[in-house]
């Protein structure tokens, strides 16, 4: 289950098809879209169930309000756009109309992170996870592959309350087999080792696995945790990793100062401080380029993770 | 040079042709970008930069320059190709569009390269920015004018109508907005007006995409009435007719006490048959073969 397969897919591809299955299984779902349904794959749902699909145009603030209203009338609502527009353009609406009243609205935000690519900084969400983790009542998930993405969407549909799920644009190797079960609030261990732990989210999980393989060839054995459930966060798994491996490296396509790395550090600081290193974006905006080049340019690579692991271990 | 140097109509048409060629060429080279909404705005940009606006490529920071604000910031090929053609930077640089390290980012950023006024890419922020610039002109006693190019899809956003309200509140007659009314946004047609007969749902009239998805994204009509209700002077023109655009923009200069909006009726993808009125080419690069055909058609 932990080995990277030949199949490649983007996590965003799970969205429309999963919702179609859920309606076929009897869920009373409504989908609201803000003129990005082709890219988010919400349009695939709209084609299948036009009566459950509402286009509000390029109007993210209105989309959140409409979604809240539908949820208030008993629907399980999915609203989607790119991660730079939801939550950024409509954060106030999300806070007031979704978070506080615990509205049954699931925000599925595609095109997260640097890997959005050529559109450049304005399209590369690097702060969305913090924004969403900051809001009480929200659950926040950043799946590592298309299978986990589908399972997380299913789980959210069956769990009352507001969710934020970030997906990404490029196709990357699929990690999980179809029988994978997603558990909210649980880190998923993909590999074990005694020397250090790599904690990663999103597409950085598969890159972390590559790093762990490189390190294993040098005799350095790493535990690898997929921390897709950012909120609730699996504090026990983090503390156990600190305890049992003595060094932690986090990896995320997001600002490190306010993202996964800082959340993990907050946990270890309170339970079991160990040397940590942080792989991610260091207080900069993104820029245009091909997604692979951007990961290289910003130092979000398996080599960068491996270096960070060596450094953390040297500080033990 | 201030671009009031009068190019003949023929010369302007040649510039438009070269800009169209540059647009498709740079997008093909990047294998990414937005041809549809760039090609629909070519005449608007040609008229602004080569006839109407006061500007000087050698003095991009000139305080008295007219400001051209591109609110629909994804349409970078049109502004980059126009600036290059106007002499702001070498035309060859267009081939670096969207590559790692380029000055020609996917969406516009202020001052990079010189001549780009605003930062955008998230829609509907250019009109509020234009109001700030127009208010500043008044504060400083300067007579520059502000031209804001808007997409019609981006008019879905509330911030546009908040801005529309304030522009007339402040009687900003130094502000002219130009709506590139091409009827197509990201995912398809905004409303029913321009949907080809064979792509319509027979009952609802809505657009049926090749994959069978039926949707109109958001209707805007009656659009001119909306702007009028918000206190604007409205002109409607054929947005590919250079003379009509020039007349409307000249006319706007003499309107006093209120802002003017020019609704420029355009065709998305104008000039390239397989892109025209085709939502697929909102954000898709032509293949090498398609590029050849596009260049042939543009001439
Ligand atoms: C706030 C925001 N929401 C969504 C998008 C994604 N998006 C990019 S272009 C576009 C459609 C724009 O349509 P229009 O303004 O008509 O532009 P044109 O057709 O002239 O290219 C959308 C929805 C965006 N850039 N900004």
Same domain, A201 and A86: no
- Tokens of residue B120, six digits: 């955008």
Same domain, A200 and A290: yes
* Mean pLDDT estimate for chain B: 95
Q: Distance of alpha carbon B77 from its chain centroid, rounded?
A: 10
Same domain, A256 and A169: no
Domain assignment present for B2: no
Number of domains composing chain A? 2
Domain assignment present for B3: no
Same domain, A141 and A241: no
Give, using CA atoms, the residue closest to atom 25 of ligand 1.
B122
The phi and psi torsions of B262 (rounded to 5 degrees) equal -105, 115
Instruction: Indicate the Cα dihedral angle A252, A255, A259, A262, nearest 10°.
Output: 100
Give the C-alpha separation, B249 to A310, whole Å. 64
Question: Which of B32, B71, B75, B100 to probe the A interface (max A CBs under 10 A)?
Answer: B100
Residue B17, pLDDT above cutoff 70: yes
- Tokens of residue B85, six digits: 């053609």
* pLDDT, position B1: 43
Domain assignment present for B1: no
Same domain, A200 and A130: no
The 10 Å Cβ neighbour count of residue B111 is 14
The 10 Å Cβ neighbour count of residue B193 is 13
* pLDDT, position B196: 87
Residue B67 forms beta bridges with which residues?
B146
Give, using CA atoms, the residue closest to atom 18 of ligand 1.
B37
Residue with tokens 């197509």: B184
pLDDT in tens, B109-118: 999 999 999 9
A83 and chain B in contact, CB less than 8 A:
no
Same domain, A136 and A54: yes
Q: What is the ipTM of this complex?
A: 0.93
* pLDDT, position A244: 98
Determine the distance separating the centroid of ligand 1 and the alpha carbon of B159, expressed in angstroms.
14
Give the C-alpha separation, A266 to B232, whole Å. 54
pLDDT in tens, B57-103: 999 999 999 999 999 999 999 999 999 999 999 999 999 999 999 99
- Which atom of ligand 1 lies nearest, measured to the CA of B124? 1
Q: Find the radius of gyration of the CA atoms of chain B.
A: 18
Pairing of strands A29-33, A53-55: parallel
A288 and chain B in contact, CB less than 8 A:
yes
- Total length of chain A: 316
Same domain, A51 and A162: yes
Pairing of strands B260-265, A8-9: unpaired
Same domain, A126 and A216: no
Q: Which chain A residues touch B191 with a CB distance below 8 Å? A: none
Residue at a domain's end among A107, A140, A173: A173
Domain assignment present for A33: yes
Give the C-alpha separation, B109 to B115, whole Å. 10
Nearby residues of A222 by Cβ (< 8 Å), 6 or more positions away: A191, A193, A195, A196, A197, A198, A211, A212, A215, A216, A245, A309
Output the domain CATH number for residue A245.
Answer: 3.40.50.920
* pLDDT, position A1: 42
- Tokens of residue A147, six digits: 């299978």
- Note whether A297 and A114 are within 8 A (CB): no
Give the C-alpha separation, A285 to A231, whole Å. 24
Give the C-alpha separation, B76 to B112, whole Å. 12
* pLDDT, position B3: 45
B215 and chain A in contact, CB less than 8 A:
yes
- Note whether B122 and B154 are within 8 A (CB): no
Residue B39, pLDDT above cutoff 70: yes
Are A84 and B102 in contact (CB < 8 Å)?
Answer: no
Residue A3, pLDDT above cutoff 70: no
Give the C-alpha separation, B119 to B117, whole Å. 7
Residue at a domain's end among A141, A173, A205: A173
Are B213 and A47 in contact (CB < 8 Å)?
Answer: yes
Taking Cα atoms as reference points, which of B110, B103, B117 lies closest to residue B63?
A: B117
- Note whether A185 and A234 are within 8 A (CB): yes
Domain assignment present for A179: no
- Note whether B221 and B19 are within 8 A (CB): no
- Tokens of residue B58, six digits: 């050698």
CB burial readout A35-61, b (16+ within 10 A) else e = bbbbbbbbbbbbbbeeebbbbbbbbbb
Give, using CA atoms, the residue closest to atom 22 of ligand 1.
B186
- Tokens of residue B252, six digits: 């706007």
Output the domain CATH number for residue A69.
Answer: 3.40.50.970
Top mutation candidate among B282, B283, B284 for ligand 1, by most atoms within 8 Å of CB: B282
Q: How far is B163 from chain A (nearest CA, A)?
A: 15
The phi and psi torsions of A212 (rounded to 5 degrees) equal -65, -35
Same domain, A169 and A198: no
B127 and chain A in contact, CB less than 8 A:
no
Domain assignment present for A182: no
pLDDT in tens, B263-290: 999 999 999 999 999 999 999 999 999 9
Taking Cα atoms as reference points, which of B243, B270, B245 lies closest to residue B260?
A: B245
CA distances from B95 to A55, A192, A259, B30 (A): 36, 47, 36, 7
Query: For residue A97, what are the domain limits?
Result: 8-173
Top mutation candidate among B154, B179, B265, B275 for ligand 1, by most atoms within 8 Å of CB: B154
Domain assignment present for B78: yes
Domain assignment present for A180: no
User: Given A55, A59, A85, which is nearest B158 (Cβ)?
Assistant: A59
Identify the burial level of B134 via C-beta atoms within 10 angstroms of its C-beta, where 0-12 means exposed, 13-18 middle and 19 or more buried: buried
pLDDT in tens, A61-108: 999 999 999 999 999 999 999 999 999 999 999 999 999 999 999 999
CA distances from A117 to A88, A112, A208, B33, B79 (A): 19, 10, 20, 11, 21
Residue B228, pLDDT above cutoff 60: yes
- Tokens of residue B228, six digits: 């009028």
pLDDT in tens, A183-229: 999 999 999 999 999 999 999 999 999 999 999 999 999 999 999 99
- Sheet with A139-141, edge to edge strand ranges: A53-55, A29-33, A76-82, A105-110, A163-166, A139-141, A229-231
pLDDT in tens, A127-172: 999 999 999 999 999 999 999 999 999 999 999 999 999 999 999 9
pLDDT in tens, A263-284: 999 999 999 999 999 999 999 9
DSSP-derived secondary structure for A178-194? TT----TT--EEEE--S
Domain assignment present for B152: yes
Query: For residue B107, what are the domain limits?
Result: 9-298
Number of domains composing chain B? 1
Same domain, A207 and A291: yes
Domain assignment present for B165: yes
What is the three-class DSSP state of A119? coil
Nearby residues of B149 by Cβ (< 8 Å), 6 or more positions away: B41, B44, B45, B48, B68, B69, B70, B71, B72, B75, B126, B177, B178, B180
Pairing of strands A188-191, A222-226: antiparallel
Output the domain CATH number for residue B32.
Answer: 3.40.50.970
CA-nearest residue of chain A to B76?
Answer: A119
Same domain, A108 and A198: no
Are A36 and B190 in contact (CB < 8 Å)?
Answer: no
CA-nearest residue of chain A to B73?
Answer: A122
Residue with tokens 């801005």: B163
- Note whether B73 and B180 are within 8 A (CB): no
Residue with tokens 């990277």: A4
Top mutation candidate among B153, B157, B270, B284 for ligand 1, by most atoms within 8 Å of CB: B153
Determine the distance separating the centroid of ligand 1 and the alpha carbon of B121, expressed in angstroms.
8
3-state SS string for chain B: CCCCCCCCHHHHHHHHHHHHHHHHHHHHHHCCCCCHHHHCCHHHHHHHHHHHCCCCCCCCCCCCCCEEEECCCCCHHHHHHHHHHCCCCCHHHHHHCCCCCCCCCCCCECCECCCCCCCCCCCCCHHHHHHHHHHHHHHHCCCCCEEEEEECHHHHCHHHHHHHHHHHHCCCCCEEEEEEECCECCCCECCCCCCCHHHECCCCCCEECCCCCECCCCCCCCHHHHHHHCCCEEEEEECCCHHHHHHHHHHHHHCCCCCEEEEEECCCCCCCCCCCCCHHHHCCCCCHHHHHHHHHHHC
Taking Cα atoms as reference points, which of B214, B224, B159 lies closest to residue B189?
A: B214
Residue at a domain's end among A139, A173, A207: A173
User: For the residues B132-157, what does the mean pLDDT come to?
Assistant: 98
pLDDT in tens, A8-65: 999 999 999 999 999 999 999 999 999 999 999 999 999 999 999 999 999 999 999 9
Are A119 and B106 in contact (CB < 8 Å)?
Answer: yes
> What is the DSSP-derived secondary structure letter of residue A112?
B
* pLDDT, position B191: 86
Catalytic residue among A6, A13, A48, A60: A60
pLDDT in tens, A222-267: 999 999 999 999 999 999 999 999 999 999 999 999 899 999 999 9
Same domain, A138 and A212: no
Question: Which of A16, A57, A286 to probe the B interface (max B CBs under 10 A)?
Answer: A57
- Note whether B269 and B278 are within 8 A (CB): yes
User: Given B102, B122, B211, which is nearest A122 (Cβ)?
Assistant: B122
User: For the residues B284-299, what does the mean pLDDT come to?
Assistant: 98
Are A123 and B119 in contact (CB < 8 Å)?
Answer: no
Is A60 noted as a catalytic residue in this protein? yes
């Amino acid at each position: 289950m932990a080995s990277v397969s030949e199949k490649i897919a983007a996590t965003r591809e799970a969205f429309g098809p999963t919702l179609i299955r859920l309606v076929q299984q009897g869920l009373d779902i409504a989908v609201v879209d803000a003129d990005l349904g082709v890219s988010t794959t919400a349009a695939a749902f709209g084609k299948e169930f036009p009566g459950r699909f509402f286009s509000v145009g390029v109007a993210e603030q209105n989309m959140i309000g409409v979604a809240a209203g539908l949820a208030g009338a008993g629907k399980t609502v999915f609203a989607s756009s790119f991660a730079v527009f939801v939550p950024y353009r409509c954060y106030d609406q999300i806070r007031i109309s979704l978070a506080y009243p615990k509205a049954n609205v699931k925000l599925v935000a595609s095109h997260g992170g640097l890997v959005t690519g050529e559109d450049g900084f304005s399209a590369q969400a690097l702060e969305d996870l913090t924004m969403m983790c900051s809001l009480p009542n929200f659950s926040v998930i950043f799946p590592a592959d298309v299978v986990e993405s589908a399972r997380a969407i299913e789980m959210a549909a069956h769990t009352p309350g507001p969710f934020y799920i970030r997906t990404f644009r490029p196709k990357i190797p699929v990690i999980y087999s179809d029988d994978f079960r997603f558990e909210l609030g649980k880190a998923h261990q993909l590999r074990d080792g005694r020397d250090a732990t790599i904690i990663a989210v999103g597409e950085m999980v598969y890159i972390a696995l590559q790093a762990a393989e490189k390190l294993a060839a040098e005799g350095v054995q790493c535990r690898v945790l997929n921390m897709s459930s950012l909120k609730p966060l699996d504090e026990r798994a983090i503390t156990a990793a600190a305890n049992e491996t003595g060094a932690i490296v986090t990896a995320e396509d997001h600002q490190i100062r306010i993202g996964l790395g800082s959340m993990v550090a907050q946990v270890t600081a309170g339970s079991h401080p160990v040397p940590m290193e942080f792989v991610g974006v260091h207080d900069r905006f993104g820029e245009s380029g091909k997604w692979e080049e951007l990961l290289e340019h910003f130092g979000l690579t398996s080599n960068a993770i491996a270096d960070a692991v060596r450094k953390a271990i040297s500080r033990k | 040079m201030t671009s009031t140097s009068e190019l003949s109509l023929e010369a302007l048409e040649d510039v438009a042709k070269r800009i169209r060629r540059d647009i498709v060429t740079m997008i093909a080279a990047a294998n990414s970008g937005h041809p549809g909404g760039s090609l629909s705005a070519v005449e608007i940009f040609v008229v602004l930069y080569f006839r109407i606006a006061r500007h000087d490529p050698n003095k991009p920071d000139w305080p008295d320059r007219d400001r051209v604000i591109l609110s629909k910031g994804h349409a970078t090929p049109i502004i980059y190709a126009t600036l290059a053609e106007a002499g702001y930077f070498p035309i060859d640089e267009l081939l670096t569009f969207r590559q790692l390290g380029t000055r020609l980012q996917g969406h516009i950023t202020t001052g990079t390269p010189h001549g780009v006024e605003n930062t955008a890419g998230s829609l509907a922020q250019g009109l509020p920015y234009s109001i700030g610039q127009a208010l500043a002109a008044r504060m400083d006693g300067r007579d520059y004018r502000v031209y804001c190019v808007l997409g019609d899809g981006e008019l879905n956003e509330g911030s546009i109508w908040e801005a529309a309200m304030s522009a007339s509140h402040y009687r900003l007659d130094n502000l002219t907005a130009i709506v590139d009314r091409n009827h197509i946004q990201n995912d398809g047609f905004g409303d029913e007006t321009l949907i080809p007969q064979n792509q319509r749902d027979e009952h609802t009239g809505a657009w049926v995409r090749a994959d069978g998805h039926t949707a109109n994204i958001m209707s805007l009509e009656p659009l001119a009435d909306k702007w009028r209700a918000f206190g604007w002077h409205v002109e409607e023109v054929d947005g590919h007719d250079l003379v009509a655009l020039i007349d409307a923009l000249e006319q706007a200069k003499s309107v006093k006490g209120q802002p003017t909006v020019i609704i420029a009726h355009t065709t998305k993808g104008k000039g390239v048959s397989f892109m025209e009125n085709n939502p697929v080419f909102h954000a898709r690069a032509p293949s090498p073969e398609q590029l050849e055909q596009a260049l042939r058609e543009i001439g």
